[in-house]
Amino acid sequence: MTHWITANWPAPANIHGYTTLRAGGVSLGGFSGLNPADHVQDNLQHVLANRQRIKRMLHLPAEPLWLRQTHSVHVVCADQVIGCPEADASYSDKKNTVCCVLTADCLPVLLCDRQGSMIAAIHGGWRGLLNGIIENTLAKMPASEIMAWLGPAIGAQCFEVGDDVRSAFINKSGQFTSAFKIQRDGKYLADIYLIARILLNNAGVNQIYGGHFCTVTDKEHFFSYRRDGQTGRMATLIWRT
């Protein structure tokens, strides 16, 4: 049984992108399996053991840059920071630098350019997407012909939000109207993949792949905060060789 998803996109051969799955780790209980997140009250020794397993199984060339994610729009250069910086995206043009984000319903987005010279990883919660995390990351990637892969996130049939979230997006652009479907109780179902596609398209990215998962309904493979509350995270990683 494989313990990861390989990004399914026509990236150059020197670009490596993956999302880890739930199975294959040492964490227990609600964190059961391969949880690499150290901020969710899991046993720290289990988390560190899981990180080593990920490093081995994906043959990572270096320790990933683990971020302290806060649903911000802050982007860091992965090879110019130390420790665990507060940011929700990282990028690099250096070989063997591993960009990484942790998610359990939010949308992980991987970016690279057609030449294979630049990479980025984005943590896309609805707040970050609304406020510009995708645009801020793309601004760090001057190369032309950027492509994107959308990793496992909450599916459009499960992501219930209030009118405040819908209104915030529609006030940003009427394009987002199609990403929300009204429910009988006045709530809306939001399509986080469509939201990301609109944002990427508007920023000039037209080669967009992935976006066919649902973390909530696939309990075997994915952690889901909305489904389980306290739980682990999947790691979505990218590097260039």
Is 189 part of any domain? no
Q: Residue 22: phi, psi to the nearest 5?
A: -75, -35
Write out the E strands in the chain.
4-6, 15-20, 75-77, 89-92, 99-103, 107-113, 119-124, 146-150, 160-161, 180-182, 188-190, 207-210, 234-240
Whether 176 is covered by a domain: the verdict is: no
Q: Model's pTM, two decimal places?
A: 0.97
Return the pLDDT at 182: 97
Q: What is the DSSP string of 145-195?
A: SEEEEE-S---TTT-EE-HHHHHHHHHH-GGGGGGEEE-TTS-EEE-HHHH
Residue 45: per-residue pLDDT: 98
Residue 39 lies in a domain: yes
Q: How many domains does the chain have?
A: 1
Does 168 fall in a domain? no
Say if 12 falls within a structural domain. Answer: yes
Domain that residue 18 falls in: 4-154+205-240
Judge whether 175 lies within some domain.
no
Q: Is residue 31 classed exposed, middle or buried when 0-12, 13-18 and 19+ CB atoms within 10 A define those classes? A: buried
The CATH number given to whatever domain includes residue 45 is 3.60.140.10
- 214 within a domain of the structure (yes/no): yes
In a domain, 187, yes or no: no
Q: Please count the CA atoms within 13 angstroms of the CA of 159 that sit on its side-chain side.
A: 24
User: CB–CB of 9/74 below 8 Å?
Assistant: no
The whole-number pLDDT of residue 144 equals 77
What is the pLDDT at residue 91? 98
> Mean pLDDT for each consecutive 10-residue tract of the chain (241 residues)?
92 98 95 96 97 97 98 97 96 98 98 97 98 98 90 98 97 97 94 98 97 96 96 98 97
User: In whole angstroms, how far apart are CA 5 and each of 64, 65, 199, 234, 238?
Assistant: 17, 19, 24, 10, 12
Q: What is the pLDDT of residue 1?
A: 63
